[in-house]
Structures are given as C-alpha cells and as structure tokens.
C-alpha cells in the first residue's frame, strides 16, 4: 500500500516532535538538536505557521534546551523558506532574548545578529529594527541588555532617519536605571562606535563614554575603560587628547581598585590605540603609578604588562624610558610584600633582557633575577626558571648558573609535591641550556632522587623526564649515566621502587634503541617475572608488551614468549589477564616476524 | 487613618488589623504521604484560615494581570520561619481584587503563593558533621523578568531559586490520542505540531544555582549588592563575595580568624551591603561594634574604613554585658543614610557619618534586665532578634517575647507593643496595644514580667517596601497585619 509506505517514514519525525516535550530533559534536548529534521519534514509553510509559534512560547524549558534552541534558530533561514521569510524567526528569538539566563540570552543575541545579515534592507527596517526597539524599551532589564548587542548590526544598513532613532535608543540605554543595562551598554559601546560615522562618534559616543566612565557603579566604570580603548582607535590622533585622554587619565586614578585594575589589564591595547606620543607623555607616568599602586591586584596586573609595554615603546626613546622610569619601579616590585605581584613580575622580567641588551642586563637586570631566584615564594623562583631561555640568548646562562643551582635544588626538595612537579617539568629545558657536563655534575642526582619520591605523581613525572633527557642527550649518555642506576633499582627491597624500574624501562626503551634494550633492559625485566609481588609481575607483562616493538624477533620468540606464557598461568588473576593481553598484543608481531625470518 | 498616610503608624490607636494568618501545623506544611520533597508545584493550603470563595476564584485569574499587579505594587515580601522543622520560603502576594496603582488597596487577603523545599539535610563525611536543612536567611533579588528570584541559605550552602508562573500547556501528540491511548505507528498519515493552550496558573520553584563549599563556619547573613551582579555571604569569621552567575569561585573579603583560635574574642554576627553604594558594606560583631568597609580601597577589606561603637556605661556593667551587647541584626535604611542594629535589649539607629554613638536608641524590653540570669539559664539570652524599617524609614519594628512585637515612630518618638497570637487576632480584628508591668502595682490589661512566655518569641519580621503591611513570624505562625483602612 502506497499510503502505508509514507506513514512509515513519518514515524521517526512523529517521535521527534512528541519528544519536544518529553519529561526527560535529555530527550527534549536531542529533539531540539534535530529541529532542522523536523522542519524539513514539515516543510517551510508549516514550519512558519505551526512550529515557530509553538517554539516562541516554549520559554519555560531548562536552560540547556533553550540554549540549543537559540543556537538552532540562528541557522534556520533555509528551513523557513529563505531570506524572504527570515523575519519569521524573530519572534522565538525575541522571547529567548528576554530569559534570565545570560548564556541563553547571549546565544539568542548571537543568532539574531547572524540572521540580521540575511534580512534585505527593507525587511531590516520593517521587521528587525522594530524588534530591537521593542527589546530596548522592554519592561525588564533582561530584554534591554539583549538590545544593546543588536544596534551595531542593523545600524550600517538602515536609512538615516532610522539611524537617528537607533542612536537615540542607545543613548537611553546608556543612562538606564539598572546597572545591568548600563553594563551591557558600556560593553557594547566600542562595538557600536565602530559602525558610527566619525562625526557621530564625536558628538554622540564621546559624551556617553564620559558619562559611563564616571558612573556611580564600579562595575560600569570598569567596562567603560575597554570601550575607551576601542574608541581611541577610531579617532584621529589630534582629537584623542581632548576627547578621550581626560577620561582615561581619570580611570587610571579611579578611587576603586577594580577600575585601576582594568586599566592595567588593558594597558598594552591602550598603548597601541593612542600611539607613541601620548604613550610617552601620559602612559609612562600612568604606568609608573599602576606599578606603585596601593592595591596588590593592580600592581600584579601592571607587572604582567611590563614586558609588552616596554616592547611597544617607540624605539628611539625606548632604552631611556625603561632605564629612567620603568626599571626603578620594577626594582621595587622585586621585593614587593605580595607574592602574586612578585610572581607576576617573575613571569615577564626575563623578557626585558632582550630589549635592553647584554650590558644593561648584566648590570641592572641580573641582580634582580638573582634576587628573585632566592625569593621565599616557590612560584616566583619557578617563573624565573621557566623563562631562562630569554636570558640565555642575551648573556648566556653561565652568568646565572651559580645562583641557579641552589634555587633548583631547593625547589626539587620542596615540601609541596606540586612545586617539585613543576620543577621536574622544566628539567629538560634546563638541561638543554646548561649543557650535559653541568647536568651530570649537578642535576643528575636530583633526577634520580625523584624516582624514589614518595608521591606517585612525582615518580611518574620523573620517568617521563628521563625519557626527555635521553632524547636530548642521546642513547650513549643514557647507557653510561641513567640506565645502570635505573636497573639497579630492580633489586630494591621496596616493590614500588622495583615497579619504577619497569616504568622507566617502558619510557626509555624507544629512546635508547634496540641494542641497549635487548642487552641491558630485557634481562632485568625477565628476571623480575619471578618477583614475589603480583603488582610487579603484571607490570612485567605490561612492560614486555610495551618494549616488544623495540626488540628483534629472535629475542621475542626465544625470551619474551616463554616468560609471558608462564605468567599466563600465574595464580594471580591480574597477572594472568595482563600476560594474556601481552601475548595477544605481541604475538601477532611474534608470528609475523617468525614467518619473515623463515621464508 | 487613611492609606495616603503611609509613613509611620499611629501609636495612640492600634490601627493594625489582622488580614491573614497561616498556621504551620505539622499537617499543614508536611509534604504529604505521596508528595516528594521535590514537588514544586503550587499547593493549596489545606488547613489555613477559612478563605472566601472569591479568593479561590482569584487563583484562576489570568496570569498577566497578576504579574502586572505584582510589578506595579512590588507587593512581594518574604518572611522566613525558622522555628519550624519545615523550612519554607513563603511569598505572600496580595489578593488582587480591586488592587491597582491608583486606588487604595482594599482590605487585603493573602494566600500562599508557593511553597517548596529549599535545602535537604546533609552529612559532611569529612568532618562528621550533620548539616541541617534549616534556612538561616532568605534574600530577594531585584526583579529581572516575570519570574521572581531569591537566595536562600542554610549553614553551609546558598541556593538561587527561581519562582515562576506557567499558564500554558502544550497539547496534541502524534503517537497518542487525546485520552492518552497509543496510536498505531503505521497509521500516522500526517504530522501534528503541538499547540499551546491556556491552563490553570501553576507556580513553580526551580533551583538555578548552588553556591557551596566556601564557608567553614555557619553562614549567618547573605546580602545582594546594589550592582545586582554580586552578593556577599558571612559566616562567623569570614565574609565572601560571590558573583551571582559564578558558583565555583568566591572571593574572601574579610577574615577575622586569628592565627591561634584560642585568641578568638569576637565573631561576625551579621553583614549587609549598602542599598545604593555598590562598594560599601557593614558587618556587626558579637562585641556590639559595627565595621563599615569600602571595597574600592582594597581587594581585602580586613581593614575597615569606619568603626561604630558606643562607649560602655561603666555603671551598668555586669556579667551579661558582653552577651547582651552582641548585635543580632544590622539593616541599612532605604535611604542609605542610616543603619539600625539590634542587640538583646535595644534597637539603635546610627548615622553613617557619626561613629562614636548612635543617633537614636530604643528600648525593646528593658524590663528583662532584671531577668537576665534566668534568660541566661534557659539560653534565651542568645536569641537572635531581627529588625526592619518601614518603606519611608520613619518607623522601625522588631520582635520580643510572649508573641509581642514592638514598633517605634522615629519622628514622634512614640512606641507601641502589639501581640501576634491566635487568641486575640481573629481575621480583621483590631490589635490592642499591650503593656508589660514593670514593678509596682499591676494595672488592668497589664501583664506581669513574670508571666511572660519566653518560648513564644518573634524573631523575624518584615515590612512591605511600599505599603503599611507587615508580616510577623511567631513560632509556627505567620501573621500579616495591615494598616487600618477607612
């Protein structure tokens, strides 16, 4: 029957539609994610007249469902009949733009911005702009905050009378009663300024910016700082001093530390936006003040920007500015009372050496590095050590090595295992820069000591570290320095140390190559198959599987296979399991190579 | 007394009448045999005061006018009952008949809007500590859309709740008939898209966010900042600042925990954000002092910018001095100029510009000074009374014992004692002023100090922000009183 055939194909769609309001959120979510399938089955006409009205009122649902819906609707244009009918999507998105959950609202606004591009200029004025106005004059602040993000997408494409209206609406929102709306307006001010004609930027945006930057709410003022940066990029140089700088100067000296923090945080963007002249006259003193701020959070944010700020200074006067203005402040920060400030500085201070060159680095920066290497806070020392490469390029690491060593040793023996973990991760880098001799002499014993640390994470990191060192220094070095020590641990009375030997072998076999693995490592592994601790035995099985690819076929066949077969009959369940795993993992390899040698 | 005269109350005649009362008897608030504790739908009150039939009809009024009325009058306020084992947030919204912006409200009738279980009892396995479900504080958020939002907290965990109305239901399934029978999947000839149809108004409460694991000690206060994006929460030794949308992180702004706990001499008892200035908050201590902090000055507010303390009168010093001077509640006036603190025997109003003494002091129940010893023995001396301002800051209210509550008119300096009890408050009855006999001969209508019932205490009171309507929680009853309307 022809009809029955058609019905059959409708069934899955029918299920999807019914599940749009299933009690299980996950099923509803799945259904919403397949909304395009439903719409396709319904056809453009019914999608417009039935599905969308239903969705418009479905705003009671869980956030994740609404979020998925808002996202889907952004790419629904084709399913409602193309750009001609795109305005049908506005009602559901409008209702989603008023829900209280910010992520949903933001997604709805994102989708609205997306489909605004698919409106013809006429549709934009007839359908889209009225929606923006409705949202902008809505009763609840949720709708007004959403409106703030929509002005900039319709402004460039509408007639001049509508443009005037849009500017008026934006002005109103900037002086809204609720701080939420003013915050939304402040955060979109820069974006809106970009689409405005320059004259209007000067006549409209600047007063709004000034007003928001002196808002009574800290949270509004701090968003105005960011807007100020975007506005500054739009204005010609000659207007900056009069229109933007007074407000920004005031922000840098704001009573609230959060606003000053924002200025410090955006400082490099600001520097780029205002150009070299204002930087030299205004920003340098402002930056000095931020580095000396009474609030540690502000100092830390400013300290983070030291390198970028100095890098972007005009080349001709860079060195003088740094030496006379910035460096004195930096020197003070090295002995700051707050450890976050010091560690922020430590993460960038090494970068200054490339800017200042060898002589200045040795004379001025080196004492600071050395002081920070002796800092009481491990994070500061770690940050210095992690950035050694910058200094290495300029003055060579030898200058530092005398102080470096005690710092490293102290970190390596820190009581906090996270600190030990962090320094281990820098070891390969340090080894590369300090060279093999220095390493063998001073650091090798540390790397070995970590292998018997009482924290597993450290032992694990230490094995990984050995592998990286071997990659750096080569197999021969490994055979002479590391391998004997590692293999020595196989006879340790502590089974955890014996297991560490196996983990090391797993990590090192590939880097060391076939010869060392077969000659030196394999016998040890095989010997350990008779260990009395089951954990060691099943790790032998695992290790054999792991190093199998490195070994040659005769060794596999003659030595590995019998041991694995023996382990597969072990009385311990886990040992049996892993031995069988290893056999099935390595045996194809065994049989293949076997065939190969005998054919 | 007309409705236009809403600032202040008349102390000469007790013009407060009972409009509504809800009894929290076991049978009333329990979740019933079948109802799960997650049952969040609106319930009708099984054993409340008798309601007129018109009131019940009002529940089916179209929802749009309902929420509009709520918006125009802001007539939603909260009362928290902690005396009962069932912790419920209650929204009382006025019965709408004749309620509009221009006309004075008719004699109000109130119905329970929604009840829900906010917290469940928990057990902290790491500290072997039982965490009660008892709610310590409720705070409303500024309204952002048709729904209402509130923060509620027990000792450890703060939750953000949404209370919303639903009046539409989707109808029409593809695989089911109207009466719920399954259809043969092979006989579907066309697709049906569900249609939304009106239904009876349903009120739902849903948890939106859970702010947990930030307090080592018991949370005593939560307060929403005027920037509408942050709030603070205070426990005995620390105050944290949260963002309303971020649950996994909070900032510690005050920490008074000494390095050695044996040196501990005071704890934080209450904290509140300034109603207008987003950077200012205060916290009170068990020593009767209040500290005002400015969040602009530094990220950590361990150093206060103002310190309010009244010098102690050496003549009245006793063993109990420190206990009774502990502040149990602190509230900013709506104007932001004053703040009020409640200690055991008095209410003090402070001008934020004057730190050395309060501008006004009102005695709540001075007659108890002679009974402190027995109040100490039965632990009543540690009761935490709250206090509140009226909408125009011209009057204040706080609770006492024996189901008495006190109101003070700040302009006329007159005060009144009223009683919230079942016996003498029939619906629409007028409240009589009560008087406690303080020694000497007892006059008619007076009550002797010795016959006061200390188990009947009024700890929580609330004043409507715009109207002269108050809510008073007396042990397991909630009373709503309204200014008399001619």
CB–CB contact B227 A10 (8 Å): no
Q: Is the pLDDT of residue B451 over 80?
A: yes
CB–CB contact A142 B191 (8 Å): no
Question: Which residue in B has a C-alpha nearest to residue A16's C-alpha?
Answer: B174
**Does residue B307 sit at the A interface (CB-CB below 8 Å)?**
no
Q: Which of A69-78, A266-275, A428-437, B93-102 is predicted with the least confidence, judged by mean pLDDT?
A: B93-102
* Count of pairs with CB atoms under 8 A, one residue in A, one in B: 112
B238/B384 Cα distance (integer angstroms): 19
Handedness of CA A115, A120, A125, A127 (dihedral sign): negative
What is the C-alpha R_g of chain A? 34
Specify the length of chain B in residues: 486
Mean pLDDT value across residues A537-557: 85
CB–CB contact B299 A297 (8 Å): yes
Q: How far is CA A11 from CA A43, A329, B185, B193, in A?
A: 16, 73, 6, 14
**Does residue B171 sit at the A interface (CB-CB below 8 Å)?**
no
B190, B194, B226 member nearest A54 (Cβ)? B194
**Does residue A66 sit at the B interface (CB-CB below 8 Å)?**
no
B149, B186, B229 member nearest A8 (Cβ)? B186
Residue-level pLDDT at A182: 96
Task: Express each pLDDT in B75-89 by its tens digit.
Answer: 233 333 332 222 333
CB–CB contact B228 A218 (8 Å): no
Looking at beta carbons, which residues of chain A come within 8 Å of B146?
Answer: 140
Residue-level pLDDT at B37: 27
Looking at beta carbons, which residues of chain A come within 8 Å of B141?
Answer: none
**Residues 520-579, chain A, touching B (beta carbon < 8 A):** none
Q: For residues A405 and A175, which has the higher predicted lDDT (pLDDT)?
A: A175
**Domains parsed from chain B with CATH numbers:** 4-168+197-483 (2.130.10.10)
A201/A215 Cα distance (integer angstroms): 20
Please check whether residue A501 is in contact with residue A486, taking contact to mean a CB–CB distance below 8 angstroms: yes
Specify which residues B436 forms β-bridges with.
Answer: B447
Distance, in angstroms, between B247 CA and closest chain A CA? 14
CB–CB contact B188 A294 (8 Å): no
Distance, in angstroms, between A139 CA and closest chain B CA? 8
**Residues 159-178, chain A, touching B (beta carbon < 8 A):** 178
**Residues 236-265, chain A, touching B (beta carbon < 8 A):** 255-258
Task: Express each pLDDT in A492-524 by its tens digit.
Answer: 888 888 999 899 988 888 888 888 888 888 888
Please check whether residue B459 is in contact with residue B82, taking contact to mean a CB–CB distance below 8 angstroms: yes
Distance, in angstroms, between B470 CA and closest chain A CA? 27
Q: How far is CA B184 from CA A13, B175, B237, B273, in A?
A: 15, 7, 66, 62
Looking at beta carbons, which residues of chain B come within 8 Å of A186?
Answer: none
CB–CB contact B192 A13 (8 Å): no
Q: For residues B214 and B177, which has the higher predicted lDDT (pLDDT)?
A: B214
Residue-level pLDDT at A188: 95
Please check whether residue A596 is in contact with residue A560, taking contact to mean a CB–CB distance below 8 angstroms: no
Let me know the angle formed at the C-alpha of A30 by A26 and A34, rounded to the nearest 5 degrees.
Answer: 165
Tokens of B414: 């007159």
Question: Which residue in B has a C-alpha nearest to residue A102's C-alpha?
Answer: B245
Residue recorded with tokens 């099943």: A538
Distance, in angstroms, between A26 CA and closest chain B CA? 18
Q: Is the pLDDT of residue B143 over 90?
A: no
A580/B478 Cα distance (integer angstroms): 72
Residue B476: exposure state from Cβ atoms within 10 A (0-12, 13-18, ≥19): middle
B137/B190 Cα distance (integer angstroms): 54
Looking at beta carbons, which residues of chain A come within 8 Å of B195?
Answer: 50, 54
B226/B277 Cα distance (integer angstroms): 7
Task: Express each pLDDT in A96-126 by its tens digit.
Answer: 999 989 999 999 999 999 999 999 999 999 9
Mean pLDDT value across residues A190-198: 94
A18, A21, A217 member nearest B278 (Cβ)? A217
Alpha helices in A305-443 (DSSP H): 306-311, 315-321, 327-334, 339-349, 352-360, 366-373, 378-386, 388-395, 398-412, 417-434, 436-438
**Does residue A199 sit at the B interface (CB-CB below 8 Å)?**
no
Under the banding of pLDDT at 50, 70 and 90, the label for residue B72 is very low
What is the C-alpha R_g of chain B? 24
Q: For residues A355 and B56, which has the higher predicted lDDT (pLDDT)?
A: A355
SS3 A484: helix
Q: Which of A111-115, A238-242, B104-108, B299-303 is predicted with the least confidence, judged by mean pLDDT?
A: B104-108
Residue-level pLDDT at B19: 56
**Does residue A180 sit at the B interface (CB-CB below 8 Å)?**
yes
A84/A97 Cα distance (integer angstroms): 23
A8, A14, A50 member nearest B175 (Cβ)? A14
Q: For residues B264 and B80, which has the higher predicted lDDT (pLDDT)?
A: B264
**Does residue B36 sit at the A interface (CB-CB below 8 Å)?**
no
Specify which residues B233 forms β-bridges with.
Answer: B222, B240
CB–CB contact B149 A256 (8 Å): no
Q: Is the pLDDT of residue A337 over 60?
A: yes
CB–CB contact B227 A179 (8 Å): yes
**Domains parsed from chain A with CATH numbers:** 474-587 (1.25.10.10)
Residues 6+ apart with CB under 8 A from B319: none
Question: Which residue in B has a C-alpha nearest to residue A297's C-alpha?
Answer: B299
Under the banding of pLDDT at 50, 70 and 90, the label for residue A13 is confident
SS3 B270: strand
**Does residue B413 sit at the A interface (CB-CB below 8 Å)?**
no
Residue-level pLDDT at A479: 85
Residue recorded with tokens 């200029």: A121
Tokens of A56: 């418009």
Residue-level pLDDT at A8: 61
Distance, in angstroms, between B144 CA and closest chain A CA? 5
φ, ψ for residue B126, nearest 5 deg: -70, -35
**Does residue A139 sit at the B interface (CB-CB below 8 Å)?**
yes
Mean pLDDT value across residues A323-352: 92
CB–CB contact B296 A57 (8 Å): no
Specify which residues B480 forms β-bridges with.
Answer: B20, B471
Segment B178-185 long-range contacts (CB within 8 Å, at least 24 positions apart): B185/A7, B185/A11, B185/A14
Taking all residues of chain A, what is their mean pLDDT, rounded to a whole number? Answer: 88
CB–CB contact A54 B175 (8 Å): no
Please check whether residue B372 is in contact with residue B445, taking contact to mean a CB–CB distance below 8 angstroms: no
Q: Is the pLDDT of residue B55 over 50?
A: no
Specify which residues B94 forms β-bridges with.
Answer: B110
Q: Is the pLDDT of residue A131 over 90?
A: yes
B193, B245, B277 member nearest A17 (Cβ)? B193
CB–CB contact B174 A17 (8 Å): yes
Mean pLDDT value across residues A565-591: 79
Residue-level pLDDT at B92: 34
**Residues 73-102, chain A, touching B (beta carbon < 8 A):** 98-102
φ, ψ for residue B36, nearest 5 deg: -80, 165
**Does residue A60 sit at the B interface (CB-CB below 8 Å)?**
yes
**Does residue B428 sit at the A interface (CB-CB below 8 Å)?**
no
Looking at beta carbons, which residues of chain A come within 8 Å of B170?
Answer: 20-21, 54, 58
Q: For residues B139 and B41, which has the higher predicted lDDT (pLDDT)?
A: B139
Task: Express each pLDDT in B329-351 by its tens digit.
Answer: 999 999 999 999 999 999 999 99
Tokens of A539: 């790790």
Q: Which of B265, B448, B199, B174 is nearest to A41 (CA)?
A: B174
CB–CB contact A18 B175 (8 Å): yes
Tokens of A597: 């040698």
Mean pLDDT value across residues A246-258: 93
**Residues 37-66, chain B, touching A (beta carbon < 8 A):** none
**Does residue A45 sit at the B interface (CB-CB below 8 Å)?**
no
Let me know the angle formed at the C-alpha of A460 by A459 and A465, rounded to the nearest 5 degrees.
Answer: 95
Task: Express each pLDDT in A54-101 by its tens digit.
Answer: 888 877 788 899 999 999 999 999 999 999 999 999 999 999 999 989
| pLDDT > 70: percent of chain A | 96
**Residues 405-434, chain A, touching B (beta carbon < 8 A):** none
Please check whether residue B29 is in contact with residue B415, taking contact to mean a CB–CB distance below 8 angstroms: no
Distance of CA B299 to the CA centre of its chain: 30
- Which pTM was predicted? 0.78
Residue A82: exposure state from Cβ atoms within 10 A (0-12, 13-18, ≥19): exposed
Task: Express each pLDDT in B11-41 by its tens digit.
Answer: 344 466 665 555 432 222 222 222 222 222 2
Q: How far is CA A301 from CA A109, A260, A278, A295, B53, in A?
A: 32, 10, 21, 10, 65
**Does residue A59 sit at the B interface (CB-CB below 8 Å)?**
no
Give the torsion through C-alpha atoms of B56, B57, B58, B63, to 10 deg.
120
Residue-level pLDDT at A15: 87
Under the banding of pLDDT at 50, 70 and 90, the label for residue B424 is low
Residues 6+ apart with CB under 8 A from A207: none
Task: Express each pLDDT in B375-392 by its tens digit.
Answer: 999 999 999 999 999 999
Distance, in angstroms, between A565 CA and closest chain B CA? 46
Q: Is the pLDDT of residue A592 over 70?
A: no
Q: Is the pLDDT of residue A556 over 60?
A: yes
**Does residue A449 sit at the B interface (CB-CB below 8 Å)?**
no
Taking all residues of chain B, what is their mean pLDDT, rounded to a whole number? Answer: 76
Q: For residues B367 and A511, which has the higher predicted lDDT (pLDDT)?
A: B367
Distance, in angstroms, between A196 CA and closest chain B CA? 29
Residue-level pLDDT at B485: 57
**Does residue A339 sit at the B interface (CB-CB below 8 Å)?**
no
Q: Is the pLDDT of residue B188 over 60?
A: yes
**Does residue B145 sit at the A interface (CB-CB below 8 Å)?**
yes
Task: Express each pLDDT in B217-262 by its tens digit.
Answer: 999 999 999 998 999 999 999 999 999 999 999 999 999 999 999 9
CB–CB contact A257 B175 (8 Å): no
Q: What is the DSSP letter of A491?
A: G
B118/B160 Cα distance (integer angstroms): 9
């Amino acid at each position: 029957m022809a009809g029955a055939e058609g019905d059959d194909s409708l069934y899955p769609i029918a299920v999807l539609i019914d599940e749009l309001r299933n009690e299980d959120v996950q099923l509803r979510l799945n259904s919403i994610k397949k909304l395009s399938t439903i719409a396709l089955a319904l056809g453009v006409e019914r999608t417009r007249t039935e599905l969308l009205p239903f969705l418009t009122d479905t705003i009671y649902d869980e956030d994740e469902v609404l979020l998925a819906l808002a996202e889907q609707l952004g790419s629904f244009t084709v399913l409602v009949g193309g750009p001609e009918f795109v305005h049908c999507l506005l009602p559901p998105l409008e209702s989603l733009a008023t829900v209280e959950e910010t992520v949903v609202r933001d997604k709805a606004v994102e989708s609205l911005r997306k489909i605004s591009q698919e409106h013809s200029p006429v549709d934009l004025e007839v359908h889209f702009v009225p929606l923006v106005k409705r949202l902008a004059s809505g009763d609840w602040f949720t709708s007004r905050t959403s409106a703030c993000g929509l002005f900039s997408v319709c402004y460039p494409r509408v007639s001049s009378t509508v443009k005037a209206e849009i500017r008026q609406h934006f002005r109103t929102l900037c002086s809204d009663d609720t701080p939420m709306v003013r915050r939304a307006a402040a955060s979109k001010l820069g974006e809106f300024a970009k689409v405005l004609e320059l004259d209007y930027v000067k006549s409209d945006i600047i007063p709004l910016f000034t007003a928001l930057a002196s808002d009574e709410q800290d949270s509004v003022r701090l968003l105005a700082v960011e807007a100020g940066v975007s506005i500054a990029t739009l204005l010609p140089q000659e207007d900056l001093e009069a229109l933007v700088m007074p407000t920004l100067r005031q922000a840098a000296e704001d009573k609230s530390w959060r606003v000053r923090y924002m200025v410090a945080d955006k400082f490099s963007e600001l520097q780029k936006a205002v150009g070299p002249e204002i930087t030299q006259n205004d920003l340098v003193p402002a930056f000095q003040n931020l580095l000396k701020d009474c609030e540690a959070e502000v100092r830390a944010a400013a300290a983070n920007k030291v390198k970028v700020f100095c890098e972007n200074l005009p080349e001709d006067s860079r060195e003088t500015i740094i030496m006379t203005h910035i460096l004195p402040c930096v020197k003070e920060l090295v002995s700051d009372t707050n450890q976050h400030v010091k560690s922020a500085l430590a993460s960038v201070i090494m970068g200054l050496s490339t800017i200042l060159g060898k002589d200045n680095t040795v004379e001025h920066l080196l004492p600071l590095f050395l002081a920070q290497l002796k800092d009481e806070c491990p994070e500061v020392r770690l940050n210095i050590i992690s950035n050694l490469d910058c200094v290495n390029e300029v003055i060579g690491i030898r200058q530092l090595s005398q102080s470096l060593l005690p710092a490293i040793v102290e970190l390596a023996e820190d009581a906090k295992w996270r600190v030990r973990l962090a320094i281990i991760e820098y070891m390969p880098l340090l080894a590369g820069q300090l060279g093999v001799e220095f390493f063998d002499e001073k650091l090798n014993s540390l790397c070995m000591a970590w292998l018997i640390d009482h924290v597993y994470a450290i032992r694990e990191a230490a094995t990984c570290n050995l592998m990286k060192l071997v990659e750096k220094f080569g197999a021969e070095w490994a055979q002479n320095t590391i391998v004997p020590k590692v293999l020595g641990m196989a006879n340790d009375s502590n089974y955890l140390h014996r297991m560490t030997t196996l983990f090391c072998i797993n990590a090192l076999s590939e880097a060391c190559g076939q010869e060392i693995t077969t000659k030196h490592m394999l016998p040890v592994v095989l010997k350990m198959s008779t260990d009395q601790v089951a954990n060691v035995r099943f790790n032998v099985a695992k290790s054999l599987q792991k190093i199998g690819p490195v070994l040659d076929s005769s060794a596999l066949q003659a030595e590995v296979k019998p041991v694995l077969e023996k382990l597969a009959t072990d009385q311990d369940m886990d040992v049996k399991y892993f031995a069988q795993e290893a056999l099935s993992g390595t045996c194809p390899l065994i049989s293949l190579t076997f065939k190969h040698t005998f054919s | 007394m007309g409705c236009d005269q809403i600032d202040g109350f008349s102390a000469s005649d007790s013009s407060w009448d009972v409009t509504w009362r809800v009894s929290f008897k076991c049978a009333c608030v329990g979740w019933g045999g079948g109802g799960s504790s997650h049952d969040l739908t609106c319930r009708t009150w099984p054993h409340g005061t008798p309601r007129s039939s018109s009131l019940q009809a009002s529940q089916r009024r179209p929802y749009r006018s309902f929420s509009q009325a709520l918006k125009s009058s802001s007539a939603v306020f909260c009362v928290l009952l902690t005396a009962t084992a069932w912790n419920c947030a209650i929204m009382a919204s006025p019965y709408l008949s004749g309620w509009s912006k221009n006309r004075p409200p008719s004699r109000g009738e109130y119905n329970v809007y929604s009840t829900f279980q906010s917290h469940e009892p928990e057990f902290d396995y790491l500290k072997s500590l039982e965490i009660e479900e008892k709610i310590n504080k409720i705070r409303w958020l500024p309204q952002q859309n048709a729904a209402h939002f509130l923060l509620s907290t027990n000792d450890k965990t703060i939750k953000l709740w949404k209370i919303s109305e639903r009046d539409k239901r989707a109808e029409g399934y593809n695989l089911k008939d109207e009466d719920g029978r399954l259809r043969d999947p092979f006989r579907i000839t066309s697709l049906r898209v569900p249609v939304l149809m009106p239904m009876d108004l349903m009120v739902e409460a849903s948890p939106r966010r859970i702010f947990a694991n930030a307090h080592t000690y018991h949370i005593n206060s939560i307060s929403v900042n005027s920037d509408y994006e942050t709030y603070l929460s205070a426990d005995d030794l620390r105050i944290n600042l949260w963002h309303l949308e971020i649950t996994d992180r909070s900032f510690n702004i005050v920490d008074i925990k000494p390095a050695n706990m044996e040196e501990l001499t005071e704890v934080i008892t209450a904290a509140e954000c300034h109603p207008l200035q987003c950077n200012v908050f205060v916290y009170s201590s068990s020593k009767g002092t209040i500290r005002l902090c400015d969040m602009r000055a530094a990220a950590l507010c361990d150093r206060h910018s103002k310190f309010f303390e009244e010098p102690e009168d050496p003549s009245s010093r006793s063993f109990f001095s420190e206990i009774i001077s502990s502040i149990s509640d602190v509230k900013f006036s709506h104007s932001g100029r004053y703040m009020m603190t409640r200690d055991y025997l008095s209410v003090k109003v402070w001008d934020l510009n004057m730190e050395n003494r309060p501008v006004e002091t009102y005695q709540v129940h001075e007659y108890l000074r002679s009974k402190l010893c027995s109040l100490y023995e039965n632990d009543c001396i540690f009761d935490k009374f709250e206090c509140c301002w009226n909408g125009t800051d011209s009057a204040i209210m706080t609770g006492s014992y024996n189901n008495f509550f006190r109101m003070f008119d700040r302009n006329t300096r007159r005060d009144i004692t009223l009683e919230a009890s079942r016996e003498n408050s029939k619906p629409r009855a007028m409240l009589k002023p009560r008087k406690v006999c303080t020694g000497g001969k007892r006059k008619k209508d007076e009550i002797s100090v010795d016959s006061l019932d200390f188990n009947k205490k009024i700890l929580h009171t609330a004043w409507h922000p715009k109207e002269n309507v108050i809510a008073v929680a007396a042990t397991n009853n909630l009373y709503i009183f309204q200014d008399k309307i001619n």
